[in-house]
Amino acid sequence: MATVVTNHKACTVNPLKMSQPIGAALAFMGLNHCMPTLHGSQGCTSFGLVLFVRHFREMIPMQTTAMNEVNTILGGMDNIEQAIMNIWERAKPDVIGLASTGLTETKGDDVDAYIKLIRARHPEIAEMAIIYASTPDYVGAFQDGWSKAVVCIVQELAVPCSVKHMDRINVLPGSHLTPGDIDEIREIIESFGLSAVFIPDISGSLDGHIPEDFTPTTLGGTTLEQLRTMGAARATIGIGNQMYAAAVELEMKTGVPYTMFDRLTGLEANDNFLHYLSKLSGKPVPMKYRRQRSQLQDAMLDAHFYTGGKKIAIGAEPDLLWSLGSFVAEMGCELMAAVTTTHSPMLEKMPIAEVLIGDLEDLETRAKECDLLITHSHGRQMAERLKRPFLRFGLPIFDRLGTAHKLTVGYRGTKELVFEIANTFMADEHEATPESWLNNSEAGNTEAGVAGENFAEEHECASTGGCSSCA
């Protein structure tokens, strides 16, 4: 339905996009006792670390091979070796997740070969898994880095298993799902008597719990044991098109068949998901979810008065854009602007004439007349300038709490999303005045101006909140 275009600017203004290596790092953070490590200059790690700390408000384990000018030219073998051995000595992790950066990719370090040499030299680290993903900064975006890392996890650790566990399924979640989403999906799957292993599982490591002891690596997430038995599962579910490559890879390596769900937000999307689980398990859909389905229907009915005909502008990575964009269209909204970060087969299916691979400046230009703006926290300056209601979705969200628990999947998550969106419109409703229906354009402008001012007032305390940080 949509044409996908790329902007023709030389200069990106107000980036929407983040880079591949930190997407890969986040995927590695979903593995238990893992140390995500970027092969690049120390700044590459530092920027990513700060970003995740501000988003999740959690301790973030992340290391660097600390490349400098000289060893970039000479090759990073020594640095990778030192990094691996130092991490091994200090933290004894089960897994080191290594991702390359623009710097080391430009040089062309053959990291796979380095790792082989290092392993030959250090038999003591034989038990520790080392997963390497090639993720140059100047190609793709965050979501691509995540998806490449998961493909590499599968390539490195998946093996065919002769003994199958009929109640076990693998779930490959996209980077757009929060720890809260993953918990919800797990609960749904478990209610069918199945057990789900998420690869990776950031709900274990980044859900904001208080651990008993200090650990320098990730705490919680998919265990090495679970990763090595991916092949024992009965089926694999991929959530979000970005997981397609990993699902295929897993089937090719282990023979476990996959099913893709492009999103789990929306009534029909969840009907399909639960129907699938019911068929797979041979069990009826539990009463709990029939009830939730009915609640969602009711919520959609209550909300449709407010969402119908509203114009929405979204800036998000492809799979999140697909989830949110499709759903607001299902709620009768008009998607008036869609800006994203990287290519994806989903983009052409978006319910809009044109999807732009661009930045927040592009979104700002296209969102001028919108009723609601949806993007990550960096949209705050734009929302203030445009004086439009603004909902934060995606990563990073650094000026709101509870991002890890934000729920948009399942009937329950969809219901919460419906309410959040409809409430935003209700809060932004303009009172009728004697001038509202006057036919001349001047009066129309006045009305708009007054409404704009009212909104600005409300907006200051209710909508942006962290005004001190925006000011």
Partner 1 sequence: MATLGEKVQDVFNEPGCDVNQTKGTKERKKGCTKQLTPGAAAGGCAFDGAKIALQPITDVAHLVHGPIACEGNGWDNRGAKSSDSQLYRTGFTTDITELDVVYGGEKRLYKSIREILDKYDPPAVFVYQTCVTALIGDDIEAVCKAATAKFGKPIIPINAPGFVGAKNLGNKLAGEALLDHVIGTEEPEFTTPYDINIIGEYNLAGELWQIKPLLDELGIRILACISGDAKYKEVAYSHRAKAAMMVCSKAMINVARKMEERYDIPFFEGSFYGITDTNESLRQIAALLVQKGAPEELLARTEKLIFREETRAWEAINHYRPRLQGKKVLLITGGVKSWSVVSALQEGGMEIVGTSVKKSTVEDKEKIKELMGEDAHMFDDMRPRDMYAMLKESRADIMLSGGRSQFIALKVKMPWLDINQERHHAYAGYVGMVELVKQIEQALYHPVWAQVRKPAPWEVSPQELSLAELSGETTHMTIEAQAA
DSSP reduced 3-state for 450? helix
Chosen residue from 4, 50, 248, 280 binding partner 1 by CB under 8 A: 50
CB of 405 to partner 1, least distance (A): 17
Say whether residue 21 binds partner 1 (CB under 8 A).
yes
DSSP reduced 3-state for 240? coil
Chosen residue from 2, 27, 131, 141 binding partner 1 by CB under 8 A: 141
Say whether residue 40 binds partner 1 (CB under 8 A).
yes
Hey, which residues between 363 and 422 contact partner 1 (CB under 8 A)? 378, 381, 398
Q: What secondary structure letter does DSSP report for 461?
A: I
Please say which residue, 250 or 395, places its beta carbon nearer to partner 1. 395
CB 168 within 8 A of CB 234: yes
CB of 27 to partner 1, least distance (A): 16
| DSSP E strand stretches across 74-214 | 95-100, 129-133, 168-173, 195-198
Query: Which single residue is written with the structure tokens 């129907």?
Result: 275
Q: Environment class of residue 431 by beta-carbon count within 10 Å: exposed (0-12), middle (13-18) or buried (19+)?
A: exposed
Say whether residue 74 binds partner 1 (CB under 8 A).
no
Say whether residue 449 binds partner 1 (CB under 8 A).
no
CB of 178 to partner 1, least distance (A): 18
76 vs 275: CA distance, rounded Å = 50
Which range touches partner 1 (CB under 8 A), out of 66-74, 124-132, 196-204, 409-417?
66-74
Return the closest-CA partner of residue 318 out of 269, 362, 356, 275.
Answer: 356
Return the closest-CA partner of residue 317 out of 348, 357, 350.
Answer: 357
Say whether residue 210 binds partner 1 (CB under 8 A).
yes
CB 202 within 8 A of CB 32: no
Say whether residue 461 binds partner 1 (CB under 8 A).
no
Chosen residue from 63, 175, 281, 292 binding partner 1 by CB under 8 A: 63
Say whether residue 11 binds partner 1 (CB under 8 A).
yes
CB of 86 to partner 1, least distance (A): 3
CB 387 within 8 A of CB 455: yes
Residue 100: strand pairing partners: 39
257 vs 265: CA distance, rounded Å = 23
23 vs 38: CA distance, rounded Å = 11
Helix (H) or strand (E) holding 339: strand 334-340
Please say which residue, 17 or 406, places its beta carbon nearer to partner 1. 17
Say whether residue 460 binds partner 1 (CB under 8 A).
no
Please say which residue, 249 or 384, places its beta carbon nearer to partner 1. 384
Hey, which residues between 219 and 278 contact partner 1 (CB under 8 A)? none
Which range touches partner 1 (CB under 8 A), out of 68-76, 120-128, 252-260, 452-460?
68-76
320 vs 392: CA distance, rounded Å = 12
Chosen residue from 2, 99, 103, 152 binding partner 1 by CB under 8 A: 103
Please work out, in degrees rounded to the nearest 5, the angle formed at the alpha carbon of residue 152 by the alpha carbons of 150 and 157.
100
- Residues forming contacts to partner 1 in the complex (CB under 8 A) are 9-15, 17-19, 21-22, 37, 40-51, 53-54, 57-60, 63-69, 72, 79-80, 82-87, 90, 101-103, 106-107, 136-139, 141, 210-211, 214, 216, 359, 378, 381, 398, 468-469, 471
